[in-house]
């Protein structure tokens, strides 16, 4: 049997690699995706092989992540439960898809992951596998009672590694868990399980990696321009950039001014509520600026229809249905809606805030001559026409009011 394992080189996946290999008498191929987590990848190949992997793939997927996953998400205006920019959610289908590709190339029988049975990631990994490779088995050790019995805690994992001569650096466990990629960093569990605890209090400054506290941000605001073409950002401050370049630049600028921090209690797909703290500096700027570009260039009815679909689209991403037919259908509509979302937005960044400071477009639908409160020199809008417009819209209200009045007077 041959199995492709999502591998980071940390304690958990090191144990998983060895344990799965023994239990299934299998050949293990390790896979690590570079999606902007900035983790130290040097020495990972040697570590995986020393732990028992026959081969390891370390793939730089950052440009693909930005272009094919983050940017379509931004075009859709997606934000889960009004706050979460879906940073972890959107990364999982990319990782799982690459695992399937490697499994096909290596003629593997299964893929494996280290997601727990309580979280969303297990669903995201496995729904992607179901959509792309239904014949592949998926192994999830944390849902195996024998695995949980053998490893009830971190101490047992460290002891297992020592016994097996697995090269891991056992360090003191952080008082929270962290997941990082190009779009965000998420923090959860540990000290964050108390929703009354203030994650942004000065004593917790050391937790954050991408952004300074708004109180510590520069006292002078910074203006940033973002150019859009068909709904995608193509330049920052006049400099043409790839999707990856856009994200890296906006992360740096947003982090400098402390924007994009979120603390929320969210509804996991498996049914429980969980508290998550997020840093999404670049994504927050891009989401805001994109919306500003749409206000100038998108038809009202198209915008309102798209907006009505944001909760559904966001759910599909959060729940792991990126490769579902309904998400693909929604994306087709989103792509169509973005054809004229072209122009430039200027934003002001200041102490945790993102404020619009201007927008312009060669295909703007805003007509100042028509909207002006002064006399319209073009006569494009005849105010007298509003009388009939209002009368027709009031008709059903008038009829209902007369009926109710008649009923109340007997």
Length of the chain, please? 410
Cα separation of 164 and 129, whole Å?
A: 31
Concerning whether 121 is annotated as a catalytic residue, the answer is: yes
Concerning whether 385 is annotated as a catalytic residue, the answer is: no
The angle, 0 to 180 degrees and rounded to 10, between the axes of the packed helices 11-24 and 154-164 is: 60
Q: CA dist 334 to 105, 257, 363, Å?
A: 33, 31, 18
Concerning whether 177 is annotated as a catalytic residue, the answer is: yes
Taking residue 226's Cβ as centre, other Cβ atoms within 10 Å add up to 26
Catalytic residue among 18, 62, 89, 92: 92
Note whether 2 and 108 are within 8 A (CB).
yes
Q: Which residues contact residue 194 at a Cβ distance below 8 angstroms, ignoring those fewer than 6 apart?
A: 275
β 137-139/110-112 pair status: parallel
Cα separation of 234 and 254, whole Å?
A: 17
Q: Which two tokens stand for residue 328?
A: 């693909």
Note whether 141 and 19 are within 8 A (CB).
yes
Q: Which two tokens stand for residue 59?
A: 């793939």
Closest among 262, 330, 246, 294 to 87, alpha carbons compared: 262
Concerning whether 402 is annotated as a catalytic residue, the answer is: no
Catalytic residue among 148, 154, 177, 252: 177
Catalytic residue among 62, 121, 314, 359: 121
Cα separation of 106 and 14, whole Å?
A: 21
Residues known to be catalytic = 12, 92, 121, 177
């Amino acid at each position: 049997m041959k199995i492709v394992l999502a591998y980071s080189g940390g304690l958990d996946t090191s144990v998983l690699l060895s344990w799965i290999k023994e239990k299934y008498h299998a050949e293990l191929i390790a896979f690590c995706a570079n999606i902007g987590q900035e983790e130290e990848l040097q020495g990972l190949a040697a570590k995986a092989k020393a732990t028992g992997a026959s081969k390891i793939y370390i793939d730089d997927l950052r440009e693909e992540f930005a272009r094919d996953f983050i940017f379509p998400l931004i075009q859709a205006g997606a934000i889960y439960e009004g706050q979460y920019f879906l940073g972890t959610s959107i990364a999982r289908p990319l990782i799982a898809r690459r695992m399937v590709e490697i499994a096909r190339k290596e003629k593997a029988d299964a893929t494996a992951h280290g997601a727990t049975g309580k979280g969303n990631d297990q669903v995201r990994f496995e729904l992607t596998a179901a959509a792309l490779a239904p014949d592949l088995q998926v192994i999830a050790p944390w849902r195996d009672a024998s695995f949980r019995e053998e490893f009830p805690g971190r101490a047992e994992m460290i002891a297992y590694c020592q016994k097996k001569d697995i090269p891991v650096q056992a360090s003191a466990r952080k008082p929270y868990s962290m997941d990082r990629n190009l779009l965000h960093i998420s923090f959860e569990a540990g000290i964050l399980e108390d929703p009354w605890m203030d994650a942004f209090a000065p004593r917790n400054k050391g937790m954050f990696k991408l952004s300074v506290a708004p109180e510590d941000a520069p006292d002078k605001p910074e203006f940033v321009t973002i150019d859009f073409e068909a709904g995608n950002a193509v330049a920052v401050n006049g400099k043409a950039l790839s999707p990856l370049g856009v994200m890296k630049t906006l992360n740096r600028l947003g982090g400098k001014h402390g924007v994009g921090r979120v603390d929320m209690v969210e509804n996991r797909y498996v049914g429980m509520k969980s508290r998550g703290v997020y840093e999404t500096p670049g994504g927050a700027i891009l989401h805001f600026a994109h919306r500003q570009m749409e206000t100038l260039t998108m038809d009202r009815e198209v915008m309102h229809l798209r907006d009505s679909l944001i909760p559904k689209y966001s759910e599909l991403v959060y729940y792991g249905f990126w490769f579902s037919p309904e998400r693909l259908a929604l994306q087709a509509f989103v792509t169509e809606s973005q054809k004229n979302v072209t122009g430039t937005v200027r934003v002001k960044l200041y102490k945790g805030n993102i404020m619009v400071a201007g927008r312009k477009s060669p295909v703007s639908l805003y007509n100042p001559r028509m909207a002006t409160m002064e006399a319209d020199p073009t006569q494009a809008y005849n105010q007298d026409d509003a009388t009939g417009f209002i009368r027709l819209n009031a008709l059903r209200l008038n009829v209902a009011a007369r009926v109710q009045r008649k009923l109340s007077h007997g």
